[in-house]
Amino acid sequence: MDPLLAAAIAAREHAYAKYSGFRVGAALELHDGRIVTGCNVENSTYGLTVCAERVAICKAISEGVAPKSFKRIAICADTERLTPPCGACRQILWEFCGDVPITLTNLAGVTREFTVGELLPEAFDDSLLT
């Protein structure tokens, strides 16, 4: 199996999804080959929940990974219709990864490929802040 998909599936096991029961794993492959993972981390206030994708990005950036060092992304949830990143995560992925491939997968081994740009057309970004 693609190691990036395996990493997203394994990360999903760590999800703290006490309130929704909806477990998500994300994995980011860096250009140097390293993989950084994340899982969703919920909170009893609900609104403070953080998605798996943003946990992975924040982990990577906080460990010194430079923005735009990401080669591709994998996301795993146990849904028949594959789970795409939420709108907020799309914006964050665009900021730090740009238009890289995203593979969605589930526990049945179904996969589907997109790019970040396909999921967030006409994105707002820092090129507009001039």
Site residues (CB under 6 A) for ligand THU? Answer: 17, 20, 22, 24, 40, 42, 49, 51-53, 85-86, 89
DSSP state of 38: E
Structure tokens at 5: 């998909």
Q: How far apart are CA 117 and CA 104, in angstroms?
A: 15
What residues are paired with 37 via a beta bridge? Answer: 27
- For the question of residue 53 being annotated catalytic, the response is yes
Query: 16 or 98, CB closer to ligand THU?
Result: 16
Q: How far apart are the first and last CA of the chain?
A: 44
Query: 25 or 130, CB closer to ligand THU?
Result: 25
Query: 40 or 69, CB closer to ligand THU?
Result: 40
Q: How far is the CB of 22 from ligand THU (least distance, A)?
A: 4
Residues identified as active-site: 53
